[in-house]
Structure 1
Amino acid sequence: MPKIPYKTEKEDEEDYEIVSFEDFCDKSPTAKADLLTLNDNINYRLFFESGKENKCNESGAASASGASEIQTETSLNGSKASHKRKIPFAPFGKSDKARRGSLFSGVIPKARIDGDVREHRYERFSSNQGCLNRWLEQAGTLLPGMLVAGLLCALGVATWWAVAGALGGGWGDDHYRRLWERVHPEEVKKPLTPLTLEKPVITEYRYHDHNNLSTKNRSNATDNKKKEVKKGFLEHSPEVMKELCARIVDDDLRFDCYPQFGANEEGCVKRGCCWKVTDTQNAPYCFYPPQYETYQFVNSTENKHGMTVYYSRSYDTGYPGQFSVARIDFNYLSNEILQIKISDAEHKRFEPAYPEVPMVFNSVSEMKYRVQVDSSAVGFKVVRNSDNVTIWDAQNTGGMILSDKFLQFSAILPTNYTYGLGEKQDRFLNDLNWKTHTIFNNDQPPTENVHLYGSHPFYLALETNGNSHGVILLNSNAMDIVLQPTPAITYRTIGGVLNFYMFLGPSPSDVVAQYTEIIGKPFMPPYWALGFHLCKYNYGSLNVTRDVWQKNRDAGIPFDVQWNDLDYMSKGNDFTYDTDKFSGFPDFVKTVHEAGMHYVLLFDPGVSASEKPGEYPPFDRGLEMDIFVKNSTDQPFVGKVWNRISTVWPDFTHPNTTAYWKEMMADFHRKVNFDGAWIDMNEPSNFLSGSMYGECTPEELPYKPISIAAEGLKHKTLCMDAKHHAGAHYDIHNLYAITEAVATNSALAEIRGKRPLIISRASSPGLGHFAGHWSGDVFSKWHDLKASIPQLLSFSLFGVPLMGADICGFIGDTTPELCKRWMQLGAFYPFSRNHNSDTAKPQDPVSMGESVVDASRTALRMRYRLLPYYYTLFWRAHIDSATVARPLFFEFPQDPRVYSIDTQFLIGDHIMITGILEEGANSTNVFYPGPNPWYSFNTGKQLAVDSWRSIGDDEMVAVRGGSILVLQEPPVKGPVNTGNTRSLPLQILIAPDTVGVASGELYWDDGDSLNSYEEKKYTHIVFKVKENELTSSIQWWGYGVPSINKIKVFAQNPIKTVTVNNAAATFSYDQKTRVLTILNINVNLDRSLSVKWTIQKMTQKT
C-alpha cells in the first residue's frame, strides 16, 4: 500500500484499498467524493490520446479541462502520444485493455464491516488540514452544523487539486510507479512477503535509484526503524575473537573480509574479522572468523517444486542499505536444474530481462540433487544424490553480505578443475590461486588479467570421476568473481539480486545443454556462414575491395563472404555509404551475389547526433520516436565514437526501438543488398568515458570491481546514470549487446526473409540464441594465436558456438610464418574470418605470398570438405544444445591427462584439430586420448591410441576411430564457395574403432530458409558400420540430398569384394595406408543404403 498521509498509527493499512478507474465509475457518488479528495494519489502527469472519450465524463470526475501539454511518453510508460499534437490532461487513466490495464485512481477507506457505509477519512495536505479533518470526522455525529464547514474544506481542497493538476502534480515517478504496480499486480512480480516473522513485515516495492550512485547518507527505510540488533561479532571480546580466528589454520580457507583497496588491521577488526599477515601470495590478511553469521534463520517452507527460506539480519555489516530480511528461493526446475535466488524480502530490486528464462517446472521425480539448510547457521549446501558429494557448501564461508550496492556470496567447490568465467584471455583451465575475474563489458583489446568485451559469470566444474556441474549467476551488474585454492568461489556484485542456476549434468556436455535450455539454444546459421570470410578495416575504396575479392578467388582460395568495416560509410555514419570512394557499391554487391557469394557490413550502434534536421534520417527518426538513451536530465545522452562530431545511442530496451532499427536497416538494404550484420562497439563503447555535455554522477560505491576501481565504471562507455527504458545504465550496461542482437536478428529475418547472420563483439548470457561472436582486436602475435583456442572453447561453454578469432591477428603487422600457421588453425574455427586493422599491412592470403596461399588453400579445402559435418553439428547445437568446438575432456571426462590441454580442440566428437603454435617450429606434440585409434584425415594412416605423438603440417586434422563423416569435395579448379559446392556429390569416410564399428549422421536442408527444421523441410540420415557393412537409415526426408559418388574406409586388411546395394562395385586398396576406396558409384540416399566388403583370407607361407 502506498504511503497514506496523516493516517493514525492505530489505523491499519488494510482499512484502505486502491481503486481503479473502472471501479471508481461504478461506485456511488459518496464513494466518488471519498476518492476525489485524495488528490495526492492521482497522477496528474499522465497523458492520453485526445480522440478517446472519458468513461466518466458524465460525472465530471475524470477530466481536468483547460490543461494541456506536449508529451511523448507517460511517466509510467503508458500509451505514447505523438510529438506532432498536444494532448489534453487527464487525471484519471483510460483503459486500453489491448495494451495494458487502466491506471489507479486513488486510495479510499474500506468499509469497517460488510454493508457499512465508508467512513469519510480523507487525506489532507497540511498538518492543520489533517487535524481539521479528524476533528470533523469525530464531531460529525454531534454537530450536524459542521457539515457546512466540511463542505467549505472540501471546496478548498478541490480548488487546490485543480491548481495542482494544472501544474502537473508534485510526486515523483517512483511513487506513481509503486502505486500503479499495486493496482496491476498481474503485470509485475508478486511482492516477496515473508512467512511468519517475529514481527509482521509490510512489503513495499522499492525501485533503487541507481541514477544516484552515491552511498553517502543512503540507507534503507528499514535502517531508520528502531530494531533490536542481535549480538554479533562486533561485540565479542578480543579474547573470544582471538580464539575464533585461531581456528582458521589453513590460509586456503580464508574468505576475504576486506576486498576493497587499503585493507588494514583497524578497519578489519571493526568489521568483526580476523587480521593475520601471511606469506601465502595473494591470500587475504583480513578474513572472516568461523560462524560469521550476518543473518539468522527465521523459517522455511517446502513443496514439490522447491523451498523458501527467510533470514533476518543479525547486525549491521557497515554496507549502506543492508537487507533487513533476506529470502532464498530454491526452485527445483527439473531433475538436473536448480535455481537459487537470494533477494531482499522487503523490496523489489532490478533483475535483467535478458536472457528470457522459461520458468517451467518439469518433473522432479528423480532429482540429482538435494538442498540442505541448517536452521542453526546461515547458508546452505547442495549435494549430489548419486554419490553424496557436496557441490556447493555455502555454510561457514563468511555469511552473506546483502546490501543495496554490494552483494557477496561464497561457496566451497568439490574440485580444482573449473572452466569458464569471462570474457578473458587466459588458459582454459582456471587459475585458483586467488584469481579475480572482473565481469563488465569493456572495449579492450584482448590481453591477460583484463576484463574484455563480454560478461559471462558461468563456470563448469569437472571432478576426476567425470561428474560435472555448472553455475550461472544471472545478474547484469558489474561484479568480481574470485577463485581461491580451497577450492572455493566468491561472487561480489554491485546491484540486483543473486540469481543462480545450477546444472547437475552429470557429463560436461549435459551441463552445457542444460545451461542453454535456460538461456536459449544457439541459432541455426545459414550454410554460407560456415564458409571462409575476408575483411580488412580501411580497404579505403571499392576498387581495393574488389581487387582483394577477385585476387583471392582467382588464387583458388575457398571463400564465401566479403566484408567491409566502417570505412565504407559516409562520415562514419550508420546506414550510409561513401558515394565517392565506394561509387558503384550496390552493383558490386550484386556481382558478389551472382558469383554465389554473400556480403556482410558493419553497423555500429552509435548514431551521429550532429547532422542538421532533415539531412540524416537515422537521427531525425530516432528523435521523433524518442528512442535514444537519455542523460540525467532526460535529454539524449551524447558521446563520441566514429561519427565526426557527436554520437547518441539507441535504447534497445525501448519498445519502439525494434521498429526503428528495422526501418533504418530496411531503408539501407534497399540501397545495398547486404546479407549479414556485424555489430561492433556495442559494449557500448564511447571515446569520451562519459558525456560530451555535463558530468556523470560520481560513482561513490562501497565496492568497485578490481579491474574497474582505478578508472571507474564509465571508462570508455556511458555514464552510469544514463537512462534506458528498462532502467539505469548502471544496471543495463552488460545487456546492451544482447538487446541490439535481438533487434538486429528480428530486423534481418523480416527484411531478407532468410536466416540472419549476425556477429557481435560484446556479449552476455543468451547471445548465442541470436548471434555469433569473434574475439575482437587481437594482436598479430604468437601468444594471441595460442590464446585463440581457450577463447573459442570458453564460448562453447557460454552457448555461442559460432565463434572465432581474427585470423593472422588484428593489431600490428603479421608475418608470413605466423599468418600461415594461423590460417592452418583458423580454417577450422566454427567462424573463420581473416581481418586486420587500418594501420597494418594487408594480410589476405594472396597479399602474404605463395607459402600462405598454399597453406590457406589446402586448409580451407579441407574445411569445405567437412562443411556437411559442421552444418550437422550446428543443427545439433540448435535443437539439442550440443557444442560444435569442444575441449577434449567433453569426450574423455574421466581422463585427468586432458583436463589442462588447450592447444588442441575437437570439432564435434569425430574430428580433432591441432595447430603448430610456436614460432620456428615445424612439428608439435599431440595427445590422442581414448581406447580407439586416431587417423590422419588426409591419408587415413593410423596416428596413435591413448598416447602422445609428434605431427607435422599434413596431420593437423585427425579423425577419431568409430566415426562416419559425410563429406563434399569442392571444385578442383576455379573459385570455390558453398554456392558452387553444395550441388556436387557427397562422399562418405569411415574410420572404424578397434572392433570395426562406426556411426555418423547427416542433416541437410536448403541452407538459408527460416525454420527449415520446424517446418520439416529437411532430411536427416543416420549411418552405421558393423561387420564390414555400411547401412543408412532415413530419420526424416523432406529435402533433396546430393548423391554419393565415393566411399573411403580406413584401417582395412586387403579386400576381396565390394558390393553396393548388392551390386558389384569398383574399388582400390592402398596397402601402405590400409585404406579402401569405393569408386565410381552414384547412389541416391532417398532409400536405404547397404555397402558390404569382404576381406581376403590370409594364406600361410610354407
Structure 2
Amino acid sequence: MGSSNMHCLTLVIFVCLSTFIPQTEGQCDLPANQRRDCFPWPALSQESCESRGCVYCPDTDGPWCFFDDTVCPSEIPESSRSDCFDEPGASPEACRARGCIWCETETEDIPFCFHDDSVSQGGEFCPDDVPENERVDCLPEIGGSMETCLARGCYWCESGTPNVPWCFMSPLHGYRVSGEVEDTVKGQRVHLRRVNNPSWFGEDVVQVDVDIEYQEDDRLRVKIYDPSEARYEVPLGIPSPDDKATSPLYEIQITESPSFALKIIRISSGETIFDLSHLIFSNQYLQFSAQLSTEKVFGFGETEHETFAHDMDWRTWAMWARDQPVTQGNLYSVHPFFTSIEPSNDMFGCLILNSNAMEVTLTPLPGIQYRTSGGILDLYFFFGPEPEAVISQYTEAVGRPVMTPYWNLGFHLSRYGYNTLDNMKEAVERMRLYDIPHDVQHGDLDYFERNLDFTYDPVRFAGFPDFLHTIRQDGTRFITLLDPFISTGEPSGSYPPYETGMTADVWVKEADGVTNAESMCWPEDSVHYPDYSKESTKQWWIDECVDFHSVLQYDALWIDMNEPASFVTGSVHSCLNNSYNAPIYRPESLLVENCAGEDDGWFCLADKTICLDYTMELGRRYDVHSLYGWSSSEPSLQAAREATGTRSYIITRSTYPGSGKWAGRWLGDNQSAWYSLKTSIIGMMEFNMFGIPFVGADICGYFTEASESLCNRWMQLGAFYTFSRNHNGDSAPQDPGLWPEVGRNSREVLLTRYTLLPYLYTLFHEAHTEGRTVIRPVMHEFINDVSTHAIDEQFLWGPALLISPVLYEFADTVTAYFPDERWYNYYDGNEEANRGEYGVISAPADTIPLHVRGGHVLPTQRPANSTMWSRSNPMGLIVALDDDEASSGSLFWDDGDSIDTFENGLYFLTRFDASLGVLKNEIVHNGYPEASSLSFADVNIWGLSGSPNVMVNGQPWFDFDHDPASQVLRIFNLDLQINELFEISW
C-alpha cells in the first residue's frame, strides 16, 4: 500500500520549513554523506530550495538542496512536545522514519523526537491541503519506493500514523469529461479522456465511457468501460429495463474537471452517499475511490473479521477465491457487495460486478478504495431505504435464493475422519443413545476409494448402501461429498467418470485451448478439472451423478474444493511466467511468499489453484477464476434433482453473487476456538446479505480438538444456524453424544429448533419469493436505533426470534441488547424487563437465551428426532402481543421435498392476525390438500392484560391456563385444521 510498515528500504524524511531559514555560514562544507536531501525531484532551483527553508549549495557532490539540521523546524514549545519515541534506541534516523521531528535540546526530560502535524513533509510534492484520511494510495502493489511514487506523478509524504499511504494521488490524476454528457434511453452517457499523467502499470485506456442507467426507482447502474475494445464482463444476467426509471430515489451529479467525479445523492435526504473519483482504467489495473457518508460499512466477502461493521482504519481485504483455511484473510468465496448506513439511517447497497483478482481498502475518510486486475468497473446501487429492502432489491438482481427441502433444516452430522463404516455407525448410535435429532448424515471423502469421486471403499465401508437404507428408515438422510476433479491414472476401463469425460471433452484447457489442464489434488494421480460452463460438461456431470445414485442412495450433494483447489501451484508443469499468471499489478492483500519456488517472494495468483492463462468456455481463468464455484452449482443442483427425483439441495464451498439461486454454504475449515464461535455469527449474517440464507459454520470447529465446554456452547449456537451441522477434520471425534452433558443439552436445544421449524421454513419461503434474509442482523429490524448498528453477538431469525448465545469461555450470563419493544422469554413467555437497553441474562450450561418479539405470531410444531416424524405432529402458535396487544404472522407449508411447489401452486399459505382480543387466520393460498391432516393443538398468547374469557369459533372454551403475573394465556386441546378458518377470542 505504500505505507510505512510496508517498505523494506530506508526512506528519507522531507521536512518543509514553515518559515524561511537563512543559510548558516559553512554549511556548504557539510560532507555529502551527511546531507539530508530536501528536494530530490527534477527542476531544482535555488529559489524553490530556499522557499522550503533548506540550504542550497550547488557543488558537484551530494544533494545540492538539503535540510539545515542546526535549526528546529517546529514551533511547538519544548514543554508541549508529545514523545514520538518513548522506547530505547531513539535516533534522528529512527525518529524521522516515523514521520516525526528530531530537535535536540539541553533541557532535561524533554523528548528529542516528537509529533508535529503542522510541519509539512516533502515540500512541493507533499501538499498541506490533503488530509491523511483523504489520501488515495499510489503504491497499491507489493513493494514500491519513493522513486516509483514520483515516477507515477504522485505525492510522497511520510506519516507516523500506521497504515496511512505515504505515496498518494494528485487530485489532477485520472480522467476528464470530453464533450457533452449525452442523454440516453436508460439515462446518460459520459465520455472521458485520460489526463496526460504518468502511467502506473502501462496500457492505459485513453478514452473511457460511463453509462449511467436509471434501471429502477431503487436501482442504479454505473458502467465504466472501454468503448473501443470489448473486455470481460461477468455474465450474471442482471435484467436491464428498456426505459429509465420515472421516480428514482437518487440523482447524479457529475464533476467534469479538473478530473472526473460522480456523486450519487439520495433525494429524500439530500445526502451524497457515494462520491466516485480517482479513476484509473488500464489493461490490467482498474481503480476508483469513493467517499461514503458514514463509516458504517458491512459486507465484502469472503473474509473472516472481528466485527460485523468493518474496521475503516485503512484495512484492506482481497476478493479472490482461495483454498485457504479460515483465518483473517480472504477465503473461498468472492462477494464484492456491501451495504452502508447513511446519516439519516437509510441504507444503500452496492455490487461491484467484477470477477478478477481485486481488493478494497476501507479508509477513515470514510470511504473505499477499490482496485481490480481486469474486466470493467460495473457498479449496481440498491437504495432500500430499509435494510431488508436493500437485500430484496439485490437478490432481485442477482437471483432469489433456492428453496430448501424441509428435512435440510434438521440437524446434520458429519466428519472427515470416520475412515471406516464402523466408526460412522458408532457416531450414529451415540446420537440414538441420547435421542438427539438427526436428519442428515454426511459422507466426506474418507469413505471414497482412494479419494476418487463417485466411489466408496468396498473394504473400509463394506455394506455402506445397506447402512444408508437402514438409517433412512429412522428418518436420517445422506449427503455425499464430491470434488470437482477426476483422477487421470486409473487403469483403462476401470473408472468411467474419467473415460466418459475424455469422450465428451469436458475439461478445463491449458492456454492453447486444446491440452487438458492437469494438476494434483486428493487422488494419488494427477487430475483434470471439469469445465462446468460447457454444455457437454453439464450433461456429463448429471449423468455421473445419476449413475452414482444407483450405487449409493444420497439425497443431496456437497461440493468441496471448487475454487478450484490444487495441491501444487498452477499445474504439474508449473505455470508460464506471463502477464496472466504473474500480472504487473500484484495486490499486497494476496501476498503469497515464495510462490512456485521463486526466491524473491514472487506473488502468484495460481497459489493453491490452476494456472490463470488456462481457458474455460466461460473465458480465460485470469478473468473467471472466482466464477468456478458459481459455474459448478447450477449443474450440480440439476444433477442432484435428476438423480433423486426430489427438490434436493447443494452445499458448496466457493460462491459468487447469484450462487444462492442454486446452493447453500458452509463457512469452511474453521478452528475449534471460542474466537471462531463468535465470528461464525458475522459470517452467517454476511452470507444472508449475499443472498445465501442457508449457511452455518462447522459446529465445534474443524481444526484441532474441541473442548467439552466449547462444543456444548457451539451446539447451542449451531442449533440456530440455518445450516446446522457438526463437522470436523481428521482429529478426535466431536459428535455431541461423546459427552453425556453435551448430549443431553444438544437434544434439548435441537428439540427447540425442531419446534420452531415451521417458522424457519416460512422464513425460507419469504427468502425464496421476496429475497429477504433469514439470519438477520438486529439492525435490519431496528435501523433507527443506533445502538443496534454494532451488534454482532446477537442475531435474529427473521423479524421475531432474538438469539443471544454464550460466546465466551466460563460465562454463565449474556449481556444482551433489547430494542425498545416488548420481548418475551421463549421458554416461559415472561416479558423481558429491559427495553431499549442492555440486560444481563442468565445462561447456565443447558440454556441459550431466546426471546420472541412482541407483535409477531410464530407457528410451531411438536418436535421429534427427525422431520420425517415431526411433520405429522400437531402444530401450535405463539402469539406475542405488542404494546397495542396486536400481533401478526404467517405459515407456509408444502410437501417439503417436491421441486418448485410455489411456482406450481402446490402449497398452502395462511396469515394470522391478532388485535382487540381476537386471533383470526386468513387462507392466502390453499393448493396443498394434505395440509388438512394437520391441526393447531395449542395457542400461547403472551403479554395479555386483564382476565380472559376464551371463545373458539364462537363457542366457550375451558381448556386454558392463565397466569396474571406473567400475563401468559395457554389454550390447549384444540383441533383446528390449519387450512380452515378459525377465530379465537379472549
TM-score bracket, normalised by the shorter chain, equals 0.7 to 0.9
Amino acid at match of 2:818: Y
Amino acid at match of 1:735: L
2:622 paired residue number: 730
* Alignment TM-score, normalising by the size of structure 2: 0.84
Amino acid at match of 1:262: G
Q: Is the 8 A contact 1:905 1:912 kept in 2?
A: yes
Change (3 A) 1:647 1:254: same
2:850 paired residue number: 957
Q: Is the 8 A contact 1:990 1:1049 kept in 2?
A: yes
Give me the whole-angstrom Cα distance separating, in 2, the residues matched to 1:264 and 1:547: 61
Amino acid at match of 2:553: N
What CA deviation, in whole Å up to 9, does each residue of 1:79-107 have, x standing for no partner? xxxxxxxxxxxxxxxxxxxxxxxxxxxxx
Give me the whole-angstrom Cα distance separating, in 2, the residues matched to 1:300 and 1:290: 22
What CA deviation, in whole Å up to 9, does each residue of 1:366-398 have, x standing for no partner? 101112223333121111111111121124xx3
1:605 paired residue number: 484
1:520 paired residue number: 399
Amino acid at match of 1:271: R
Q: Is the 8 A contact 2:554 2:644 kept in 1?
A: no
Deviation at 1:247, TM superposition (A): 4.8
**1:843 aligned residue (731, 734, 755):** 734
Amino acid at match of 1:805: A
In the alignment, structure 1 residue 580 sits paired with structure 2 residue 580: no
* Alignment TM-score, normalising by the size of structure 1: 0.75
Deviation at 1:464, TM superposition (A): 3.9
**1:872 aligned residue (762, 765, 768):** 762
What CA deviation, in whole Å up to 9, does each residue of 1:385-414 have, x standing for no partner? 11111121124xx3x111111111111111
Is the partner of 1:902 in helix, strand or coil? coil
Deviation at 1:558, TM superposition (A): 1.2
Amino acid at match of 1:756: S
1:341 paired residue number: 223
**1:392 aligned residue (237, 254, 274):** 274
Equivalences for residues 563-574 of structure 1 within 5 A: 563-574=442-453
2:825 paired residue number: 936
2:983 paired residue number: 1090
1:368 paired residue number: 249
What CA deviation, in whole Å up to 9, does each residue of 1:585-609 have, x standing for no partner? 2222222222233110000111111
1:896 paired residue number: 786
Give me the whole-angstrom Cα distance separating, in 1, the residues matched to 2:530 and 2:417: 25
Deviation at 1:237, TM superposition (A): 9.4
Give me the whole-angstrom Cα distance separating, in 2, the residues matched to 1:296 and 1:368: 25
Deviation at 1:905, TM superposition (A): 0.4
1:743 paired residue number: 635
Give me the whole-angstrom Cα distance separating, in 2, the residues matched to 1:730 and 1:537: 32
Q: Is the 8 A contact 1:481 1:492 kept in 2?
A: yes
In the alignment, structure 1 residue 756 sits paired with structure 2 residue 640: no
Q: Is the 8 A contact 2:319 2:358 kept in 1?
A: yes
Deviation at 1:906, TM superposition (A): 0.6
Q: Is the 8 A contact 1:883 1:908 kept in 2?
A: yes
1:440 paired residue number: 320
In the alignment, structure 1 residue 327 sits paired with structure 2 residue 216: no
The unaligned stretches of length 5 or more in structure 2 are: 1-40, 52-121, 596-603
1:469 paired residue number: 348
Deviation at 1:466, TM superposition (A): 1.7
What CA deviation, in whole Å up to 9, does each residue of 1:989-1036 have, x standing for no partner? 111011201111001111011110011111111101111111111111
In the alignment, structure 1 residue 970 sits paired with structure 2 residue 866: no
1:982 paired residue number: 871
Deviation at 1:732, TM superposition (A): 1.6
Amino acid at match of 2:314: W
Deviation at 1:750, TM superposition (A): 2.2
In the alignment, structure 1 residue 428 sits paired with structure 2 residue 317: no
Number of positions where the alignment pairs a residue of Structure 1 with one of Structure 2: 848
Equivalences for residues 493-892 of structure 1 within 5 A: 493-633=372-512, 634-698=514-578, 699-710=581-592, 711=595, 712-838=604-730, 840-847=731-738, 849-892=739-782
Q: Is the 8 A contact 1:245 1:290 kept in 2?
A: no
Deviation at 1:236, TM superposition (A): 9.8
In the alignment, structure 1 residue 277 sits paired with structure 2 residue 158: yes
Give me the whole-angstrom Cα distance separating, in 1, the residues matched to 2:631 and 2:938: 47
Give me the whole-angstrom Cα distance separating, in 1, the residues matched to 2:178 and 2:549: 60
Give me the whole-angstrom Cα distance separating, in 2, the residues matched to 1:926 and 1:474: 37
Is the partner of 2:430 in helix, strand or coil? helix
Amino acid at match of 1:384: R
2:63 paired residue number: none
1:489 paired residue number: 368
Amino acid at match of 2:447: Y
Deviation at 1:311, TM superposition (A): 1.1
Deviation at 1:726, TM superposition (A): 2.2
1:1038 paired residue number: 927
Q: Is the 8 A contact 1:297 1:378 kept in 2?
A: no
What CA deviation, in whole Å up to 9, does each residue of 1:330-359 have, x standing for no partner? 111100111111111110011122x33222
Give me the whole-angstrom Cα distance separating, in 2, the residues matched to 1:326 and 1:891: 41
Amino acid at match of 1:442: R
Amino acid at match of 2:983: S
Deviation at 1:300, TM superposition (A): 2.5
Amino acid at match of 1:1067: F
Q: Is the 8 A contact 1:334 1:361 kept in 2?
A: no
2:114 paired residue number: none
In the alignment, structure 1 residue 910 sits paired with structure 2 residue 792: no
Q: Is the 8 A contact 1:535 1:565 kept in 2?
A: yes
Is the partner of 1:1091 in helix, strand or coil? strand
Deviation at 1:321, TM superposition (A): 1.5
Give me the whole-angstrom Cα distance separating, in 2, the residues matched to 1:992 and 1:702: 62
What CA deviation, in whole Å up to 9, does each residue of 1:747-797 have, x standing for no partner? 112222221211111111111111000001100001100111111111111
The unaligned stretches of length 5 or more in structure 1 are: 1-233, 1094-1102
Give me the whole-angstrom Cα distance separating, in 1, the residues matched to 2:158 and 2:528: 50
Is the partner of 1:1055 in helix, strand or coil? coil
Equivalences for residues 1062-1081 of structure 1 within 5 A: 1062-1065=954-957, 1066-1081=959-974
Identity percentage over the alignment?
A: 36
Give me the whole-angstrom Cα distance separating, in 2, the residues matched to 1:526 and 1:1053: 40
Q: Is the 8 A contact 2:563 2:654 kept in 1?
A: yes
Deviation at 1:362, TM superposition (A): 6.5
Give me the whole-angstrom Cα distance separating, in 2, the residues matched to 1:787 and 1:422: 13
Give me the whole-angstrom Cα distance separating, in 2, the residues matched to 1:955 and 1:645: 48
Deviation at 1:673, TM superposition (A): 1.3
Is the partner of 1:656 in helix, strand or coil? helix
Amino acid at match of 2:153: G
Amino acid at match of 1:550: E
Q: CA RMSD in A?
A: 1.8
Q: Is the 8 A contact 1:332 1:361 kept in 2?
A: no
Change (3 A) 1:236 1:486: farther
Q: Is the 8 A contact 1:535 1:836 kept in 2?
A: yes
Is the partner of 1:919 in helix, strand or coil? coil
Q: Is the 8 A contact 1:938 1:955 kept in 2?
A: no
Is the partner of 2:419 in helix, strand or coil? coil
- Which one has the largest radius of gyration? 1
Give me the whole-angstrom Cα distance separating, in 1, the residues matched to 2:129 and 2:793: 39
Amino acid at match of 2:897: D
Give me the whole-angstrom Cα distance separating, in 2, the residues matched to 1:715 and 1:244: 38
Amino acid at match of 1:336: D
Deviation at 1:296, TM superposition (A): 4.3
2:28 paired residue number: none
Give me the whole-angstrom Cα distance separating, in 1, the residues matched to 2:657 and 2:711: 32
What CA deviation, in whole Å up to 9, does each residue of 1:911-953 have, x standing for no partner? 01111111111111000012x2111111111122212111123
Deviation at 1:555, TM superposition (A): 1.5
